[in-house]
Amino acid sequence: MAFSVNSSDGVNQDKSEPESGLLSKETAIKAAKTEDIKKPYNLINELMKGLAAICLLVSILATIAMVADLYFNDAFQYFTSSFFGQNNIIKYGTEKTIEPALTSKKADFSKKSTLTEEIVFEIFDDKPDTKKQEQPELKSEKRGGVATNSAPTNAVLENDTQTIVVSKNNAPNISVIKKTASKIALPKIAIIIDDIGFDITMADAISHIDKNLTISIIPGSPSGRQIAKKLHAKGVEIILHQPMEPLQYPSIDPGYGAILSSMTSDDILKVLNKNLDLIPQASGMNNHMGSKLTPLSQPMQQIFTVLKKRELFFIDSLTSKHSTGRREAALIHLPFASRDVFLDNCKDKKYIKKQLEELLIIAKQRGRAIAIGHPYSETYLVLKEEMPVLQKSVSIVPVSQLTAVK
């Protein structure tokens, strides 16, 4: 029976509340637990949790692999290097990436590359040398019914296989015949391989094709200094592949140690001297990119001042037909030459062979020609296959032999 009493503070307290209130709370808790127990097992949620765990594990392993590759692989691709902050090397045009390093001593260079096709500026040819070598001419005469060759006293006549000394009286009998190599000078060809410094195995393989190929090394590249030291000791000519500002900058970054049009003269001198100090074996320099910088006289003057002081030469890669390189080099009598052919704008073996044929034609017309290629597997294979043929018709020389002071 319910009843109420007055409390000391005048507030009525209801004593009629039944204990069933507590029981209902306990019943609700038990019902909730029972409902949770009866809930079906959610397979999708568990799979999602497992997938997230796997992704986390893969991310950790990938990070470890990248760190290991960075510190222990000499041929690490430089677009992941903090030196460059970029993922491409461009010669004005579409993007291309560096191939993975060939770390095995028995590297397979026959595999197709995945690099995209490049576009470069058109070739800005030098004027051909029309001067032809004069050959001694022999006039045929008949003396006593015998045909003889008329020539100056004791003249030395040469052909491809022998040297013939004509007697004093021009008698029909040949007095001396001795086998000798022809003394007629062969056309000279220089081939520069750019973008070296990221793959020691490929650089070494290229140098074995012909010891007179010229190696151009990117400053600050992971293996550039090591390659320069090793190949220079073998007698291979080394030059610096100096990055310069392209027309597409800053969307295309020429890389570490680049010379930009916005730099002051002091900045240019500082950057170039630092890069040359990195590769002390360099006997000269050519430009990497530079389609914006090379047409500008003032920065080119600063660059050539440094090269002149160090007694180096400059090879203009001609990434712009408006380059001021030739003119500025002539002003200070700096040894200079320019590229005639790019071998591998299109990374296809048939295309590269066609470019070699073009190089040979130019060399025969002028007596000399310069080509630039890159350390692609296709370029390596074509040069290795075609070099024996080239060596029969031209002389392969370091590019320094084709430079001249204008």
Residues of the chain with pLDDT under 50: 1-16, 74-106, 111-168, 170-182
**Residue labelled with tokens 């000394």:** 165
Question: What is the reported pLDDT for 250?
Answer: 93
Q: What is the largest CA-CA distance in the chain?
A: 168
**Residue labelled with tokens 């203009």:** 316
The pLDDT, as a whole number, for residue 120 is 38
Do 343 and 371 contact (CB within 8 A), yes or no? yes
CA distance 299 to 277: 20
pLDDT of residue 64: 85
Span 214-258, pLDDT tens digits: 999 999 999 999 999 999 999 999 999 999 999 999 999 999 999
Q: Tell me the C-alpha distance between 318 and 338, whole Å.
A: 7
How high is the pLDDT of residue 379?
Answer: 98
Per-residue pLDDT, 183: 56
Predicted local distance difference test score (pLDDT) of residue 71? 57
Instruction: Assign 389 to helix, strand or coil.
Output: helix
Q: Is the peptide bond before 335 cis (omega within 30 degrees of 0)?
A: no
Q: What is the pLDDT of residue 61?
A: 86
pLDDT at 152: 37
Q: What's the rounded Cα separation, in Å, for the pair 314 and 283? A: 9
What's the CA gap between 273 and 307, in Å, rounded? 9
The average confidence (pLDDT) of the chain is 76
What are the strands, taking DSSP E only, across 187-302?
A: 188-196, 214-217, 238-244, 284-289
96: CB partners within 8 A, 6+ apart = 88, 89, 90, 115, 116, 118
**Phi, psi of 177, rounded to the nearest 5 degrees:** -130, 120
* Confidence at residue 46, expressed as pLDDT on a 0 to 100 scale: 80
pLDDT at 30: 67
